[in-house]
Structure 1
Amino acid sequence: MVFKCPFTMDCAGSVTSSCLVAEPLRSTGGREMLRVHFTAEDLTRIRIRAHPHPLWEVLLSLHLLQTRRGAAIFGPWRRDVRAALHPSGDILTTLAPPKGYSPDFLTPFVDSPELDDGLEVVLSTSSATLRADMTRLAEQTKLPSWAWRIAGGDAEMMRRLADRIRQYHAQALLPYAHVFKSHIREDWARRAEMAMTHGLEHVLSTLHPSIRWRAPVLEVDYPVDQDLSLDGRGLVLVPSFFCWQTSMTFADPALRPVLVYPVDPVIGWASHASATPDARSLEALLGRTRATVLRVIAEKPYLNTKQLARATGTTPSGASQHAAVLRDAGLVNTQRRNNSVVHSLSKRGAMLLDKPALQDRAGYPDIRLSNPSAG
């Protein structure tokens, strides 16, 4: 059994957790670790994502939001987000506690960098998986009645969960998206150069100080002793901005193998992110909801009004009204496509947000690494 879990770091840096394994095995070296076992075939099937995984960033940022971990780096972001956060946090923090187990279905494997694509997979989760994941979560904490509706696959409750995730993403992550996307692209570029000049072993050896490549095993400092055999399935490496110190993987070893590893941000990133313009200044100028609508339009051009409402946690009539005000102010463009009205950032809106009028949608391809012995 492999853990996906946020583990709380105390001020001394030691790990505390509510682990679900009663008697974990001990490594012979006296410290726990995750050991990822590769075959020759696995070494030809390694990928590094070029983009943030939106649902992993949602989950991991929720973990950080509920603690004081990484105060020097995440403190300003945590303060601003807590001040602006919608009450949707109740549902999300129940499903994503700051330590212990978080359900695998919240972070499904999906190639797309788009949040809605990931949420479609969440909404299509089988009832058996929902029941198993929620039952496991209940082993470490008492769940409210609505959580058991999720366990039962209740469609209305699942849609409510998806809407809450969208709201949280719009408030807590979207204002800072250009910063953590940039960090992950820089990590991608660095790995790409390493792969070309030094090969796979160097890439695997330098993912993070807590990760070591000792062929054919990737060793990861971990709160419990675990073994993950890839068995020819390969491995997807997922760089994460909000992953703090401890890499993560799915709890269910039958799922597609992934390893989420930290891309360490620098002190002051949140202040820099909100300096152009200051998030609170933008909200003071436009109002909190309208500022969120503008950011969503900038990040996801050509959403129709119904999609915009879902992404911002507003009603369709409310989204239409906010978009109309922004259009009248010259900050967004609205046009008709087929039977829908869609919205995009205008040049004036782009100047206000200090970003291109149309965001880079495709960006960079994932890196596919090959067996170092082949080269």
Structure 2
Amino acid sequence: MLRIHFTAGDLVRTRVADNPDPLWESVLSLHQLQERQSNPAVIRWQKRVIRNGRASLRLLLPLVPARGYFPDFLTPAESAEGFEAGLDALLSTSRAQLSGQIARLAGDQPLHPWARSVAEGTSPVLRRLGEALRDYQHHAFGRSWQRIRARIEADRTWRARTQWHGGTDAMLRTFGRGLCWRPPVLESDYPVDMDMHLEGRGLLLIPSYFCHRTPVALADPSLPPTLVYPARSVGPGPTPPPAAAGPRLARLLGHTRAAVLESLGGECTTSELARRAGVSLSSASEHAAVLRSAGLISSNRLRNCVHHSLTPVGLALLDVGAIDRSVR
């Protein structure tokens, strides 16, 4: 169990990452590459990456075992600004940090000779490591990066919107099973038992496509507190939230009501509308009533559920909002 202890100041400083983190995705995808899978699509991905990326995997897998510790220098904070920025930061890691983290890796498993050479931090070795990461990115993600980004962006938008309207406390309650908010402690399933005291630094939450089962934190407590968690899936799972409301639409209806209106992509129940817009069930019902009275949506009861859909007037209003966003 991982217990993250918050103060009032930490709640103010806690946020969801603005962008997908390519180096976190690289490391966590290396974990999935080494796991036994039942999903045929994932199995096909594993086979393709192993077949095409053998050279890079020979250098990366000794640093990222299937279970347990992996070095923090592989996921620098600068990676939030993009792969190249993260790679530059990784290749600038001090020899003291490299040797210390590789020594910790050696405590969990026999150390591969390549890992020992990384600990020495010579320029040729780090250059080879950088080339391996770039090659792995190409083979593991390729054209699928847009799909990875889309899921992460959908999750990030929903959490950030919830935080904007309901505060950090409300956002921390959105995670559900596996990551439970019991103020002032966020509890997570975790391979080891540990406590993380934020002490006013806040927490950076990073949604991840390849993170699954349990969230992942940095091992070094002196680094900025970070928790990577599984981005919620689309398809059979929760519906991804819509883009943020256009500024003119928000000024007309208010941010929350505009978000509720934009969440109506096709017919949905009040409960689904609440999930999509990141609001409570009662709030979704209240906003739906106002939108219905304005002629923007229609509602019909089917058995025990009320189903909502856009009217032609509502669709036209959203079209104006889309034009507003496109010309800004």
Q: TM-score, normalised by structure 1?
A: 0.60
Amino acid at match of 1:48: V
Would the aligned equivalents of 2:202 and 2:225 in 1 still touch at CA under 8 Å?
yes
Residue 145 (structure 1) shift: 2.5
Match of 1:155 in 2: 123
**Which structure has the higher relative contact order (CA within 8 Å, separation 6+)?**
1
3-state DSSP class of the match of 1:260?
Answer: strand
Amino acid at match of 2:205: L
Equivalent in 43, 52, 68 of residue 75 of structure 1:
43
3-state DSSP class of the match of 2:27?
Answer: helix
3-state DSSP class of the match of 1:169?
Answer: helix
Equivalent in 179, 184, 198 of residue 230 of structure 1:
198
Q: Counterparts in 2 of 1:89-128, with a 5 A limit?
A: 89-110=57-78, 112-128=80-96
Higher helix residue share: 2
Residue 111 (structure 1) shift: 6.0
Distance 1:232 1:72, change over 3 A: farther
Residue 74 (structure 1) shift: 2.8
Residue 266 (structure 1) shift: 5.0
Residue 94 (structure 1) shift: 0.6
Deviations 1:153-178 (A, max 9, x none): 11110111011000000111132100
3-state DSSP class of the match of 2:8?
Answer: coil
Looking at structure 1, the residues matched to 30 and 114 of structure 2 have their Cα atoms a distance apart, in angstroms, of: 19
Looking at structure 1, the residues matched to 99 and 43 of structure 2 have their Cα atoms a distance apart, in angstroms, of: 35
Would the aligned equivalents of 1:134 and 1:147 in 2 still touch at CA under 8 Å?
yes
Looking at structure 1, the residues matched to 176 and 30 of structure 2 have their Cα atoms a distance apart, in angstroms, of: 22
Looking at structure 1, the residues matched to 168 and 147 of structure 2 have their Cα atoms a distance apart, in angstroms, of: 27
Equivalent in 155, 164, 183 of residue 215 of structure 1:
183
Q: Say whether residues 1:204 and 2:172 are aligned partners.
A: yes
Looking at structure 2, the residues matched to 88 and 212 of structure 1 have their Cα atoms a distance apart, in angstroms, of: 37
Q: Say whether residues 1:34 and 2:2 are aligned partners.
A: yes
Looking at structure 2, the residues matched to 111 and 82 of structure 1 have their Cα atoms a distance apart, in angstroms, of: 24
Match of 1:175 in 2: 143
Structure with greater Cα Rg: 2
3-state DSSP class of the match of 2:61?
Answer: helix
Would the aligned equivalents of 2:23 and 2:79 in 1 still touch at CA under 8 Å?
no
Would the aligned equivalents of 2:2 and 2:192 in 1 still touch at CA under 8 Å?
yes
Q: How many equivalent residue pairs? A: 237
Amino acid at match of 1:186: A
Deviations 1:219-241 (A, max 9, x none): 11112211000011111000000
3-state DSSP class of the match of 1:87?
Answer: helix
Residue 208 (structure 1) shift: 4.7
Looking at structure 2, the residues matched to 196 and 53 of structure 1 have their Cα atoms a distance apart, in angstroms, of: 22
Residue 108 (structure 1) shift: 1.1
Would the aligned equivalents of 1:73 and 1:265 in 2 still touch at CA under 8 Å?
no
Looking at structure 1, the residues matched to 25 and 44 of structure 2 have their Cα atoms a distance apart, in angstroms, of: 17
3-state DSSP class of the match of 2:217?
Answer: coil
Structure 1 spans left out of the alignment, 5+ residues? 1-32, 269-375
Match of 1:63 in 2: 31
Give the share of equivalent positions with the same residue, in percent: 42
Distance 1:160 1:222, change over 3 A: same
Deviations 1:195-254 (A, max 9, x none): 233322221111352111111111111122110000111110000000011100011111
Judge which range, 252-261 or 216-225, deviates more: 216-225
Q: TM-score, normalised by structure 2?
A: 0.68
Q: Counterparts in 2 of 1:1-375, with a 5 A limit?
A: 33-69=1-37, 71=39, 74-110=42-78, 112-265=80-233
Match of 1:339 in 2: none
Looking at structure 2, the residues matched to 66 and 197 of structure 1 have their Cα atoms a distance apart, in angstroms, of: 40
Amino acid at match of 1:168: Y
3-state DSSP class of the match of 2:132?
Answer: helix
Amino acid at match of 1:76: R
Judge which range, 68-77 or 51-60, deviates more: 68-77
